[in-house]
């Protein structure tokens, strides 16, 4: 671990920026500390190339001047003076891109889109990090540049393929790092290094300027010391890029910001008999403890059949699944097969055995398995799994490189295949002192929702940051959750459970959250007219009462159809609840209550109905 004196300078983004703002640190001092730490670690296998010490010092000095002349630069540039590392399959001008294959090396003329965005936001690139060659592996040992040294125990693997990036963050050599994730490469190393690993939705962060592994599955992943750090980077690096053929614009209402975790949430979990730990009792116990912590935070568990997800994971390394990886490097491998790591070559050339028929069969099978995943998330907000079922020593992986790598992908491979997003979060330390964590998984574009729960989980565990020993920083949470992917709606009448219009709400994918009461500022009327009996609630300046209702969580995509189904004089507006929250809910035009029966004294529609003969 980093020594105690160095650990006092934590590189987490929140503390770093707060110290810049208060004048307690300057970028040049941060760079000097990083260079000192890099020197102290010696030949640790983390870096393939680095920005020169002199260039880093010169760049930091310029930042010092800018900060002194214009402190508001911290407001304009959200990553001002924040050091970061880049996996060496991602381009940055000035350093070669090798993908851990010296023969493949080239000098990019343009930085990757994500890197350009981060640098414009003020981040300082330190260098390019080691990886499993061509991002093929979850172990971190398939590189001619050596094995990035696990800061907790160098006898154990650092995880891959983004090995150097994860170690750089854990060891306090960078505030955050970019990796890539095709089958778990942004999550497994996070788990083995006690840091956060964010695997965003495919297309959310552009892969322009990234050496492809499986182009349709690849994402630029983010390693950070904290969950808020990972979201801060995502907020800068994410966004549509027309040059990326797989880019997708985030839905309206999407915001990469950290909010407080909900008081209750539903979490899918594999059945106990389907939890695979490969004989590792420590890993099993750590996952059991993680589930207990989630339960204490408000999680209600839904046990699921994990077999279809495991089948989807297996497709990735079938001949049909590898074919896309083969296609990405076909021309290079045809001319330079001898330049590849033996295991990498074996895997990539394995895709040549797949026919077009095999590929389409695999695609269709994944579609069918995707339906199983969709069903999981109709009844749960997210899925939780161990980030990995175990960890291996370097010598074990060298002796059995394919099977042990496959074991590490048991809980990761299906995520990319089924178009899901994921967040790996530290869970604590095993009896042998090695870290272990969990991964939260959800449908596309739900990174903020995963982050809210992930941050609460990380915080509740009191786990220090990476291998630095630094405690977690205090974090300010957003008061209002991002509306995407759902909107909580207060219903007060016939849409409540067991009443005539509730089936219409459920048909739109809504799910019951909780009973509620409004603040004592409203009056309730039975509206005149035939058809389904309906109440109307209005806000009043005086003589108001608290009205009982229910909160239902409605998918954002269904809000438009729901609004279209609401007849006059009702509509959706802001309702103040008794606990001080404001949610959207049913309100009525005051003029429409004329001639209606004032039923405020009953305190709610259900109590009124119970009073009828």
Q: 575-609 burial by CB neighbour count: b if 16+ within 10 A, else e?
A: bbbeeeeebbbbbbeeebbeebeebbebbbbbebb
What residue has token string 């007060």? 492
Residue 161 is a catalytic residue: yes
Closest to 454 in 3D by CA, of 274, 237, 231, 252: 231
Q: Which two tokens stand for residue 289?
A: 């403890």
Catalytic residue among 6, 161, 170, 230: 161
Contact present, 120 and 82 (Cβ < 8 Å): no
Active-site choice (6, 28, 49, 87) = 87
CB-based contacts of 441: which residues, under 8 Å, 6+ apart? Answer: 382, 383, 384, 385, 415, 420, 421, 422, 450
Give dist(CA 151, CA 165) in Å, integer.
13
Q: Which residues contact 459 (CB under 8 A, 6 or more apart)?
A: 472, 475
Q: From residue 311, give the alpha-carbon distance in Å to each of 178, 193, 214, 279, 316.
A: 29, 28, 19, 21, 9
Q: Could you say which of 111, 163, 185, 318 is catalytic?
A: 185
6 is catalytic: no
**Is 170 marked active-site?**
no
Q: What are the tokens at 19?
A: 């110290």
Residue 173: its H or E element: none
Helices 53-69, 27-41: crossing angle, 10 deg rounding: 160
Strand extents, DSSP E, 290-420: 299-304, 382-386
Q: Which residues pair with 198 in a beta bridge?
A: 222, 423
| Under 8 Å between Cβ of 192 and 432 | no
Q: Which are the catalytic amino acids? A: 87, 161, 185
């Amino acid at each position: 671990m980093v020594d105690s004196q160095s650990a006092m300078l934590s590189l987490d983004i929140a503390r770093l920026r707060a110290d810049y703002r208060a004048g307690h640190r300057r970028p040049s001092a941060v760079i000097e500390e990083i260079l000192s730490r890099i020197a102290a670690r010696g030949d640790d296998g983390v870096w393939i190339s680095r920005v020169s010490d002199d260039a880093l010092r010169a760049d930091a000095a310029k930042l010092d001047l800018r900060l002194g002349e214009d402190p508001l630069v911290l407001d304009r540039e959200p990553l001002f003076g924040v050091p970061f590392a880049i996996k060496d399959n991602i381009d940055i001008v000035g350093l070669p891109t090798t993908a851990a294959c010296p023969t493949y090396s080239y000098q990019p003329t343009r930085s990757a889109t994500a890197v350009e965005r981060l640098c414009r936001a003020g981040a300082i690139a330190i260098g390019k990090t080691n990886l499993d060659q061509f991002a093929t592996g979850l172990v971190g040992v398939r590189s001619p540049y050596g094995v990035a040294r696990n800061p907790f125990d160098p006898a154990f693997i650092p995880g891959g393929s983004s090995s150097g990036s994860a170690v750089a963050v854990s060891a306090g050599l960078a505030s955050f790092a970019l990796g890539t994730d095709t089958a778990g490469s942004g999550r497994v190393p996070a788990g083995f290094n006690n840091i956060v690993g964010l695997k965003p939705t495919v297309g959310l962060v552009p892969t322009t300027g990234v050496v492809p592994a499986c182009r349709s599955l690849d994402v630029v992943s983010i390693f950070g010391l904290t969950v808020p750090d990972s979201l801060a980077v995502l907020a800068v690096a994410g966004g549509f890029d027309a040059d990326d053929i797989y880019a997708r614009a985030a839905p309206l209402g999407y915001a990469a910001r950290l909010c407080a975790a909900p008081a209750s949430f539903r979490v899918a979990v594999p059945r106990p008999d389907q939890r695979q730990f490969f004989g590792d009792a420590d890993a099993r116990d750590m996952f059991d403890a993680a589930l207990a912590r989630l339960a204490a935070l408000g999680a209600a568990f839904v046990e699921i059949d994990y077999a279809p997800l495991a089948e989807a994971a297996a497709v990735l390394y079938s001949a049909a699944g590898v074919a896309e990886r083969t296609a990405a490097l076909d021309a290079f491998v045809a001319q330079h097969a001898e330049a590849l790591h033996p295991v990498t070559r074996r895997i990539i050339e394995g895709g040549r055995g797949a026919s077009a028929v095999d590929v389409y069969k695999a695609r269709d099978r994944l579609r069918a398995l995707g339906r199983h995943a969709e069903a999981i998330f109709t009844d749960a907000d997210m899925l939780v799994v161990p980030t990995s079922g175990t960890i291996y020593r370097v010598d074990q992986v060298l002796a059995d490189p394919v099977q042990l790598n496959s074991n590490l992908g048991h809980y990761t491979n299906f995520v990319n295949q089924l178009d899901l997003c994921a967040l790996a979060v530290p869970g604590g330390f095993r009896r042998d002192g090695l870290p272990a964590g969990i991964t939260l998984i959800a449908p596309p574009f739900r990174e903020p929702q995963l982050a809210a729960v992930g941050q609460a989980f990380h915080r509740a565990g009191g786990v220090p940051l990476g291998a630095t020993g630094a405690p977690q920083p205090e974090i300010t949470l957003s008061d209002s959750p991002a509306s995407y992917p759902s909107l909580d709606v207060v219903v007060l009448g016939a849409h409540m459970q067991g009443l005539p219009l509730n089936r219409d709400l459920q048909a739109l994918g809504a799910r019951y959250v909780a009973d509620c009461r409004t603040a004592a500022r409203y009056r309730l009327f039975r509206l005149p007219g035939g058809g389904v009996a309906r109440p109307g609630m209005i806000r009043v300046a005086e003589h108001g009462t608290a009205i009982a209702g229910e909160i239902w969580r409605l998918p954002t995509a269904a809000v438009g159809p729901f609004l279209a189904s609401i007849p006059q004089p009702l509509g959706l507006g802001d309702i103040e609840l008794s606990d001080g929250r404001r949610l959207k809910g049913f309100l009525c035009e005051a003029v429409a209550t004329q001639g209606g029966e004032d039923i405020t004294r009953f305190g709610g529609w259900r109590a009124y109905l119970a009073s009828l003969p």
